[in-house]
């Protein structure tokens, strides 16, 4: 005879379960030039930062766009300077809200979303480069003369890792002996990633952290890298390497 646990059957769903199971509410995003803040003045032209107004579940909040800069109007954003920027910003914030809803359920707070948004909007290639720069600095800071290491500009985002690494190899003959295990493999993974998405960096179509968390970037990257490496081991190592860096960065940011 089949028995039913009455207690379990009558147990009401938790607030989080109810929030997740209900029909998703629409997220709307409206971009605007925020003239309530101080402008950047260029001759007679005043430019203001790009903001967005997000509405969800009859609540709204506004935040500054992660990739937006200063503009005189919205036409200057997408049609003149940065094709694809608004589309990308909207995609990121909508995915951020969707992901946080699945993680937090009824505890989700729209007004606090900007904190997650700023971290989730970071390009994956940026985190990979940050990681490799830190690894390289840990090596050359232990080499003599230390004055040479101090001359490297690791803090300038315009100075790419590849440039720093190329110079370091010329300056320090012992560099390969002190490199961390699998450092060269990490460089190869990074360079391959950049190569795969090279055309997207100037069109604001590159994958960001939130797209790795919701697996859309993982799926896309997997398809792309499998076309280069027939060896499944290398494919798995690449995904694990990137995932470890992203998870570590997010965990570090929570401390």
Q: What is the pLDDT of residues 205-216, one digit of tens each?
A: 999 999 999 999
Q: Cα(first)–Cα(last) distance of the chain, in Å?
A: 53
pLDDT per residue as tens digits for the range 134-171:
999 999 998 888 888 888 988 888 899 999 999 999 99
- pLDDT at residue 195 tops 70: yes
Per residue, the 3-state secondary structure of the chain, as one string, reads CCCCCHHHHHCCCCHHHHHHHCCCCCEEEEEEECCCCCCEEECCEEEEEEEEEEEECCEEEEEECCCCCEECCCHHHHHHHCCCHHHHHHHHHHHHHHHHHHHHHHHCCHHHHHHHHHHHCCEHHHHHHHHHHHHHHHHHCCCCCHHHHHHCCCCCCCCCHHHHHHHHHHHCCCHHHHCCCCHHHHHHHHHHHHHHCHHHCCCCCCCEHHHHHCCHHHHHHHHHHHCCCCCHHHHHHHHHHHHHHHHHHHHHHCC
Question: Mean of the pLDDT values across residues 216-222?
Answer: 96
| CB-based contacts of 43, cutoff 8 Å, min separation 6 | none
CA distance 28 to 30: 7
Q: What is the pLDDT of residue 11?
A: 47
**∠ at Cα 126 (95, 85), nearest 5°?**
50
Q: What is the pLDDT of residue 10?
A: 38
Q: Which of 17-21, 117-121, 201-205 has the lowest mean pLDDT?
A: 17-21
Chain length of the chain: 255
Q: What is the pLDDT of residue 83?
A: 76
pTM, two decimals, is: 0.85
pLDDT per residue as tens digits for the range 3-50:
434 344 334 555 554 544 456 689 999 999 999 999 999 999 999 999
Is the alpha carbon torsion for 75, 77, 80, 83 positive or negative?
Answer: negative
Whole-number percent of the chain with pLDDT over 70:
89
């Amino acid at each position: 005879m089949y028995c039913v646990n009455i207690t379990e059957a009558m147990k009401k769903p938790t607030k989080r379960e109810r929030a997740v199971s209900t029909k998703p509410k629409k997220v709307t995003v409206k971009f605007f030039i925020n003239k309530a803040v101080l402008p950047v003045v260029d001759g007679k032209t005043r430019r203001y930062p790009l903001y967005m107004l997000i509405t969800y579940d009859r609540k709204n909040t506004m935040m500054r766009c992660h990739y937006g800069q200063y503009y005189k109007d919205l036409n200057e954003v997408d049609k003149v300077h940065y094709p694809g920027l608004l589309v990308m910003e909207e995609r990121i914030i909508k995915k951020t809200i969707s992901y946080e809803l699945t993680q937090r359920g009824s505890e989700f707070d729209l007004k606090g979303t900007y904190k997650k948004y700023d971290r989730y909007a970071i390009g994956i290639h940026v985190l990979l480069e940050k990681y490799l720069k830190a690894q390289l600095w840990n090596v050359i800071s232990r080499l003599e003369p230390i004055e040479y290491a101090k001359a490297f500009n690791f803090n300038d985002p315009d100075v790419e890792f590849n440039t720093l690494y190329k110079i370091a190899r010329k300056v320090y003959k012992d560099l390969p002996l002190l490199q961390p295990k699998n450092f060269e493999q990490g460089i190869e993974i990074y360079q391959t990633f950049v190569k795969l998405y090279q055309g997207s960096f100037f069109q604001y179509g590159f994958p960001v952290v939130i797209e790795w968390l919701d697996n859309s970037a993982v799926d896309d990257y997997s398809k792309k890298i499998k076309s280069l490496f027939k060896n499944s081991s290398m494919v798995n190592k690449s995904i694990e390497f990137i995932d470890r860096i992203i998870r570590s960065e997010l965990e570090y940011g929570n401390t």
